Every structure is written in structure tokens, then in C-alpha cells.
Amino acid sequence: MNRKSLRQASGPLSLLLVVLLCWFASGIIADRMVQQELDAALRTQRQMSASIVDNMAEVIASDLSMARAIPATMAEMDVVQRALAQSQNYVSNGATPLPMLRAILLDAPQLSAVSSFLHEAQGFSGLDSIWLVNANGLCVASSNAQSRNFVGVDMRSRNYLSNALLGAVGEAYGVGRASGEPGIFIAAPVYDSGVLVGAVVAKLGIGRLRHWVAHAGTFVADENGVIIMAHNSALEGHALAKGRVREMSADERSNTYRRLDFPNVQIKADMQRLREQEPWVPAEIAAQLFGVADRPEPVLYEERSGLNSGLSAHLVDPLAAWPELLRNHKRDRLLVFLTLAGTAALAWVITVSYVRERRHHRATRDLAEQLQSANTLLSAEARHDSLTGALSRRYFLDLLRDEIGRARASGEPLCMAIADLDHFKQINDCFGHAAGDRALEHFVDTCRAELRASDAIGRLGGEEFGILLPATALEAGREVVERLRTRLKARPSTKLPASAGLSVSIGITELSAEDLPERLMSRADLALYAAKSGGRDRTEALPPDDTAPPARTAATTW
């Protein structure tokens, strides 16, 4: 080959080499550019995901804490202790047929009265069912004795009951054997004169707790790794890959979940597959992303366990910027290649890059503003009840703990009251839920007019409110809430029908040196119960050292 031929051949070869070098260099530069975008998008979305799952975990812990307080409070009531102490001779041993044993228990006057009491307490507490189980594991009284009769049933095989019959609080998720409805079962041991005589068992239906998974991608798993609640209901009944349900026997799975098969939910680190498909993703970022079988894009996965229960909160949040990042990577490489390949396209490439960067910064700023707005909204919703403007239950409980610490540090007294609007269900039934809402607003407005600026009122749930009176002794506190009660009745709301007859029952107590928040609330609740039992529209006070519920008759209704 002569020189002319070599020169003719070297021209295309050089051009091809330049093109290849430009393409290789454009790939490196495009990788760095999209990595920066990925890092910024990941940081912003991770903050939002963590905020969502943290708020979800706090709500779960708060709701379960309130639910546990109800059977624990009932376990200290004399009527419950006496009923279980008198039923120790009843046992399910096969000698007496179930229908005959059930008839004997239902005909026992003291147990029939307790079943009526449990039925009324169920409606007041918001629980689905409440049972009394004696030390032999036999259900002797039930809140739903007239519909789904559990009286006479041997409940020893229930896993949530075993701890309670050993003297510890038991709590577990399960599916009702008679109803087929899932729920969280809480069992509190009952002692009479220091002797374990049985347990109070309460069921909190899953349907009441759907607000836990209000955000897309959230789900709740129990201690065995079974998804018991999910924003996407199709996931319910699935199990996490490492869930302990795989180690349970068939009988244990059937007793707890009423099913044997639990499809897998695969949420696993996606580093290797992601790096194979998109080599430009840095290893340290790929290690933070997860893969789900039915999603092509990587996801962020947040989990919060240890919520003072066996439950755990989860969030699977698809990386929203992923499709755009893939498109940007391909486009960036082409743009950089064109920039390096010819100066004629330099100005155009710079302009496109500038526009793209401006859009990226605007999108980042918009995401930051959305995050700030979301945090502000979450903070406001966590602090105040949206209907009445009173403090939310969670914030009120936090304030209660703070006030207890402040009172002990300063040596000042502290009173807590629990108020419940009388016959509130009748107002809703007779005049509509809008009238019920006006009644709640009117009560809170009355409290604000009567209480000091340093006092606090929070909505604990439904028509029940908590009131904190710092630097106030019990006698003075009783006078305050008595004035509040009389003012509510003396000054009816113009927004309510004249026949509504709004009144309130209030129970109040004072902080003692040994009180924890739960015990202070429990004593205030006992005082409220005494006010309700005494005929409603009244105030009752329990002194700090009074741990026994006030005297009441079995015929009293709420």
C-alpha cells in the first residue's frame, strides 16, 4: 500500500477514533451529571419518606397505648375482680356439654350482670369485644353475649391469653374464630387479693385502624412478619421474606390467621441487578435502593419496629425521579457527544444544558417547598384536632408527660380531668352528625372561655376530652370543672336545636408522687365513670391515693 492509500485510509480511521473517544468521554461526563441529580432527588425523597413512616409509627404507638389502658383499667375494678373470683369452679373439661355449660354461665346472676356491664363498656370504649376469662381459660362473661356468644368457650389455645394467665399483659394480632374478622387482642391479668383470678380480654378491630395506612405504599406487619394492614389491600395476608410465620406449625398458623398460605412479599436490596442494568449508579447509592417484584423502578424502603408492641410500620416508596433520570442520562450523553464532536453545535448544547439545569434546580426547589409544606401540615395535624381546634390526642399525651415533669420539678400540684358529653350518640342520631360536630365545637369554646391560658384541653377521641390544670390542687380543680359543667348547661349553643339538651360528665384527679401518665389518666377515667354511674351531668373527683373505683351498682348504665 502506497502513501496515498495510507493517507486515504487514515482519514476515516482518525475520524472514527475521534468519534469513539468523544462517545466514551460523553458517557463519563453524562454519568457524573445524572449521579448528581440522583443524589439530590434521593436526599429529598428520603426526608419525606422518613417523615411519613415516623408519623405512622407514632400514631400506631399512641393508639395501642390508649387501647391497652382500657382492659388494664377494667382489671382493677371490683365488679370484674369479684366476678372472676366467684367463677373459679367453672372449667371446660368435656364432662359438661358446651350448651349446658353456656346456659349455666348465662343464668348466673352475677355473671349476667357483668356481661351487661361489659356490653356498655364496649360501646363507650370503642372496642369491638370484651371478655372475662377465668384462671381455667374459660370465658365466663362477654360484651357480645347476645350476638356472638363466647360464654362457655375454652380460650386457653389463644396465644394472646397465655401471657395474661401467667400474670403479664398479652397482646397479639389474630383473626376471630367466630367472626372471621381480624383484630388486635389485648389481655390484662386480673388479681383479687393478690391472687390471679383470670384476665380481661379486649379486641380492637383492624377496621378501626385503617388510618394507620392512609399513605400510598404503607403497610403494617405483625411480629411474625405477616402484613395485617396495607394501603393496597391486596397485600394483606402476605408475609415478609424473613417472617417467622414460616417457622410456625400449620395448627399455629390456622389458630392465629385462619389460613395456611402466605404469599411472599420480596423487598430486597437491589444493588447487583441495578448496577448490571445501570452501571452509572454509584455503589453507595445502589446500596440504599430496594427492588419489589411488581415494580420496574427501584424503591425506597423505610421500616420502624419496636413500637411498644410486636407491630412494625413499613413504607415502600417508588423513586419518583427514576424514569426522568434514565431519560436524562441518555440525553446527556448525546448532548455531550455533540458538544465534543463539533464546535458548530457548542452554543446549542450549552443552551440546552443551561435550560435543563434551570429546570432541575426549579424542580429541586419545588420539592423542597413541598417538603416544607408537608412538614408544616403534618405538624399542625399532629398538634390540633381538625374539627374542634383542641389539642390532638398524641400532642395532649406529650403535654401531659411534660406537665407531670414540670409539676414534680417545681413542687406544684397538677390536676387532670376527663370530660365526656352525655348522650352524644342520641344527638347524632336525632339531629344528625353535623349537630354532633357543633356540640363538640361548643364544648371546646366553653372550655376556652372558662379555663386559664395556662390550662390545656385535648380531644382524646369521639366525644371524650382531657383537661390539664397546672398549679391547681384537687379541690380548686373540682371547682373549675364544676363551673365549666354548669356554664355549658346554662349557656346552650345557638347552633344547636333547643331540645338537644347538651350536658357533660367530668371526672378529675390530682397527680401523686408515684403517678405515671397512664395511672393518672386511669384514675381520672375512674372518676369519669363514677360521674356517669351517678346519673351524668355531674363532676366526681378521686384523690391521689384513691386507687379503687368508686362504689356503683351492676344496674348502672352509661
Q: In the beta sheet, which residues pair with residue 322?
A: none
Q: What is the pLDDT along the chain (558 residues), one digit of tens a residue?
A: 566 565 555 667 777 888 888 888 888 887 888 878 888 888 898 899 999 999 998 998 888 888 888 899 999 999 899 989 989 989 887 778 888 888 888 888 888 888 888 888 888 778 888 989 999 999 999 888 665 678 888 888 787 788 888 888 888 888 877 777 888 999 999 999 889 999 999 988 888 889 999 999 899 998 888 998 999 888 888 988 888 888 888 888 888 888 888 888 877 776 667 777 778 788 777 777 887 766 777 888 888 886 677 889 999 888 888 888 888 888 887 889 899 887 644 665 577 677 777 887 787 777 767 777 665 555 555 688 888 889 999 999 999 999 999 999 999 999 999 999 998 998 898 889 898 999 999 999 999 999 999 999 999 988 999 999 999 999 999 999 999 999 998 888 888 888 888 999 999 999 998 899 999 999 999 999 999 999 999 999 999 875 544 444 333 333
Which top CATH class is 393-542? alpha beta
Q: How much is the pLDDT for 380?
A: 55
The 10s digit of each residue's pLDDT in 418-434 is 999 998 998 898 889 89
Q: Which helix (H) or strand (E) holds 470?
A: strand 464-470
Answer yes or no: are the C-beta atoms of 502 and 427 closer than 8 Å: yes
Domain edges within the chain:
47-329, 393-542
Could you tell me which of 447, 439, 536 has the C-alpha nearest to residue 492?
439
Which contacts (CB < 8 Å, 24+ apart) does range 402-408 have?
Answer: 403/456, 403/468, 403/470, 404/511, 404/515, 404/517, 404/520, 406/470, 407/470, 407/471, 407/511, 408/511, 408/513
Sign of the dihedral defined by the CA atoms of residues 349, 354, 360, 363, in that order: negative
Which candidate, 489, 509, 502, 416, places its Cα nearest to that of 458?
A: 416
pTM metric for this prediction: 0.54
- For 170-207, what is each residue's pLDDT tens digit? 888 888 777 778 889 999 999 998 899 999 999 888 88
- As a whole number of angstroms, the distance between CA 416 and CA 537 comes to 18
Angle at 248 between CA 161 and CA 261, to 5 degrees: 110
Which CATH number among 3.20.20.140, 3.40.30.10, 3.40.50.10490, 3.30.450.20 corresponds to the domain 47-329?
3.30.450.20
pLDDT at position 146 is: 62
| pLDDT score of 409 | 93
Give CA–CA dist 555/558, Å, rounded: 10
DSSP-assigned states of every residue in 374-436: HHHHHHHHHHB-TTT-PBPHHHHHHHHHHHHHHHHHHT--EEEEEEEETTHHHHHHHH-HHHH
| pLDDT score at 200 | 94
